[in-house]
Amino acid sequence: MLSIALSELVQIFRNRLVLVTSLVMPVVVSAFFIYQHEVFAALGSLGYIAAIVMFTVGAFGLYTTTVTTLASRRQNLFLKRLRSTAAGDTGILSGLLLPITVISLVQVAVIMTVLAVVTGEPDNVFLLAAAVLSMVIMMLGLGLATAGLTNSPEHAQVTTLPVSLGTIAVASWVGITGTEELTLLKRLLPGGSATELAVNAWNGGVPVTESLILLAPTLSWVVVAVALASRIFRWEPRR
């Protein structure tokens, strides 16, 4: 697995499109939100900014790169060749996705640290970490499922748009309006409960036990995505 991960890390830094998508774009967008934090805090809250930058990295960095990577490796038959080795399916996928997952976690940690330095520390760091981890697992699951519908890296530019833009839209909706109205709908939408958890973690004022319940909808999306991926994910190009 580690050898696959190291090889994939090299490929990420060689591919300009993936490098811009996974590294540059999330950092630029997050920097804008942090620079304009007073404006966005007035619109929503500091927790809203934390949720948006979290999903910016998750959607445009982790999720999009996951789909692009798997589609590319399938198209050039790399996935097929890997399956002929001693590595199992789980080890292959873990090796391919480990680099971008680590990069995304580091990005979120750095961006959240900068936000805390500029605006003040979050109320509950551990709750914020739980929100980030649940988001990462969900976006990986959705990435695996979307990769099953994606024929090529170019096709990924289209197939990733609904989920990437949709989760950002949900995060903005929940972060700005809260969950006092349409509570169940907002929490069940992908990204809704993770956004509320991030907002609670940063702003405080909500019991930890009540916030931890919000992990359930996000993890449910993981189960759905993995189940879907197990049915539609392909290791070889369509003929």
25-39: pLDDT as tens digits? 888 888 999 988 888
In-domain check, residue 215:
yes
* Residue 238 counted as domain residue: no
Q: Return the minimum-mean-pLDDT range out of 80-89, 130-139, 220-229.
A: 80-89
User: Which stretches of the chain are assigned E, i.e. beta strand?
Assistant: none
Q: Is residue 89 part of a domain?
A: yes
DSSP 45: -
DSSP labels, the chain: -HHHHHHHHHHHHH-HHHHIIIIIHHHHHHHHHHHTHHHHHHHS-HHHHHHHHHHHIIIIIIIHHHHHHHHHHHHTTHHHHHHTSS--HHHHHHHHHHHHHHHHHHHHHHHHHHHHHHH---S-HHHHHHHHHHHHHHHHHHHHHHHTT--SHHHHHHHTHHHHHHHHHHHHHHHHH-SSSSHHHHHHSTTHHHHHHHHHHHH--S-HHHHHTTHHHHHHHHHHHHHHHHHH--SS---
Please give the residue range of the domain that contains residue 16: 2-232
> Would you say residue 239 lies in a domain?
no
210 lies in some domain: yes
Confidence of residue 114 (pLDDT cuts 50, 70, 90): very high
Q: Between 109 and 238, where is the model more confident?
A: 109
Instruction: Tell me what pLDDT residue 144 has.
Output: 94
Q: What is the mean pLDDT of residues 62-71?
A: 93
The total number of structural domains that make up the chain: 1
The answer to whether residue 205 sits within a structural domain is: yes
Tokens (6 digits) for 228: 């879907």
pLDDT of residue 113: 95
| 207: in domain | yes
140 pLDDT higher than 80: yes
- The predicted structure's pLDDT at residue 239: 60
Q: Looking at this protein, which amino acid is placed at residue 8?
A: E
- How far apart are the C-alpha atoms of 39 and 29, rounded to whole Å? 15
Using an 8 Å Cβ cutoff, are 198 and 216 in contact?
A: no
Does the pTM exceed 0.85? yes
